[in-house]
Amino acid sequence: MKRAFLLIACLAAVSAYGQKFDQLALTPPMGWNTWNRFACNVNEQLIRATADAIVTSGMRDAGYMYLNIDDCWHGQRDSLGFIHPDPARFPSGMKALADYVHSKGLKLGIYSDAGNKTCGGRPGSRGHEYQDALTYAQWGIDYLKYDWCETDGLNARGAYTTMRDALYAAGRPIVFSLCEWGNNKPWEWGKDVGHLWRTTTDIDRCWDGVVNHGTWSSQCVLRNLDQQKGLRQYAGPGHWNDPDMLEVGNGMSVTEDRAHFSLWAMVAAPLIAGNDVASMTRETAEILTNKRVIAIDQDSLGIQGFSYAVRDSLEIWFKPLVGDDWAMCVVNKGQKPQTFAFDWKQETVVDTLTARDAKFGSFTYELHDLWLNKEIGTTRRSLKADIAGHDVLMLRLRRK
């Protein structure tokens, strides 16, 4: 009877005019996702244990709210077409799991695909969008990552708009993450469809280069970062460019993890961790919970940072912040240590997108090192610092 009622509601909802839920993701979403570390090896025990660890590790208090189950949670559709979770992996069901996650002060996310099958070969949502949206709402889902496998013949904007409308008709506010890898320039149309959109292929746990998987390739951190250039005008509160999830804690060096996290904060990227939270090292926890760096990402202006200059292996990024503050991040892309020198009065830092001018010749800024957590002087004197290979110098500039 319950399923029959949902089917009737589903048919009625198809004719409803849709839109995306506003007032969601006003800053880049923060959370955790199963895929980067566990891939298809997901079950309710993992989700419950991770929810516990997100709380005890301090990640929840640092802002990580969404606990997202990626691919391979699916079971089969019933005779009416409604999806069910894999009964062996999720014997208690998704509603009970959502209730547990919510009891921890967290939100639960789930995954589906616009095609006939997901990338992992499970049932996709094509032709079942309204049924799936109603099911997710009934379960208490808060976030949907929507992939792009098995989508031959589909128009990306149309397919994602259909699911947007279905989510809206279901009535539960759900953050909608568009994951079509940037193939169809979602930054040009995604603002009215979703809350974030992938701008790249999948990320991998490496610093630079491309990883060939045979039929497809993933990219290392710097490759995904470089693809954010030229897209900043499309990002802002409620609509974000997504260079893919974090690989912090998944095998890169501590310096690379620190740089990766810093650069994602500079480009106002969603901060979706993907490590084994329950067994992470102290260094990984300190990176993921650095509230000073997180504050750069979560700045309420919602302005994506920009690359200011490249000098040898050093690239300099700036990001305007609230209250006339700025963030500055200098990344050493090379392996060898580099000495960085910056004469503030000789530099003209202007954000052409927002017309913000730092005016270092007219104003003095206090410099706070966000990783050392200490004041290192002001812009009255030139800055000089040694930056290790694959590492960053990250500062908050506070105008006096």
Tokens of 330: 């200098």
Q: 208 catalytic, yes or no? A: no
How deeply is 256 buried, as exposed, middle or buried, from its count of CB atoms within 10 A (0-12, 13-18, 19+)?
buried
User: Which of 143, 136, 194 minimizes the C-alpha distance to 164?
Assistant: 194
Answer yes or no: are the C-beta atoms of 152 and 201 closer than 8 Å: no
SS3 label, residue 252? coil
Max Cα–Cα distance, the chain, nearest Å: 74
Q: Which amino acid would we find at residue 54?
A: I
- The per-type count for the chain, helices as H runs and strands as E runs, is 11, 22
Rounded Cα gap, residues 356 and 326, in angstroms: 10
Tokens of 65: 């709210």
Q: Looking at 147, 165, 297, 299, which residue is catalytic?
A: 147
Q: 147 catalytic, yes or no? A: yes
Write the CA distances from 266 to 178, 295, 315, integer angstroms.
21, 10, 12
Rounded Cα gap, residues 123 and 163, in angstroms: 15
Q: What is the CA radius of gyration of the chain?
A: 22
Q: Looking at 71, 202, 299, 391, which residue is catalytic?
A: 202
How deeply is 326 buried, as exposed, middle or buried, from its count of CB atoms within 10 A (0-12, 13-18, 19+)?
buried
Q: Which residues are catalytic?
A: 147, 202
